[in-house]
Amino acid sequence: MARILLVEDVEIVRTALRRFLESAGHEVTECAGGDEANSIVGAMNFEVVVTDLWMKNGNGVEFIRVQSVNGRSPPIVAMTGGDPSFPGSRSVDVALRAGATRVLIKPLRKVDILKAIDSAIGHDARRRETVA
């Protein structure tokens, strides 16, 4: 399956997502925020990143922007429950403008997570074929 970087600041959510993704056959590396994710995303070969948007330890929107500017980032699936400043639908727009490939709104359904990962990986493969 896929090598996934999971970025989520809420430990119980991160653990549940990691366990679910591993049970679906994925290899998961986890971290607690965008700052940490920026330091490891280039050091390992991930096929997709799954990140929360609004976190205490470096927000996901900034992480997505940094990765989009670098141009070598794997596709990014963003997750959001919204933020007081950016309710759900506005968070989706912010994430897509920052460079996310897909955006999911919490609460998440397992089937939607798997579909978004598969779609993001497929999108990236098509992009590589077009660029090559």
Kindly report the pTM of this predicted structure: 0.88
Decide if 6 contacts 44 (C-beta within 8 A): no
Q: What's the pLDDT score for residue 42?
A: 80
Full set of structural domains in the chain with CATH: 3-131 (3.40.50.2300)
pLDDT tens digits, 5-44: 999 999 999 999 999 999 999 999 999 999 899 889 988 8
Residue 59 phi, psi (nearest 5): -75, 155
CA atoms within 13 A on the CB side of 51: 39
pLDDT at position 91: 83
Q: What is the pLDDT of residue 24?
A: 96
Is 63 within 8 Å of 34 (Cβ atoms)? yes
Angle between helices 60-70 and 88-98 (to 10 degrees): 20
% the chain with pLDDT above 90: 60
Checking if the pLDDT of 2 tops 50, the result is: yes
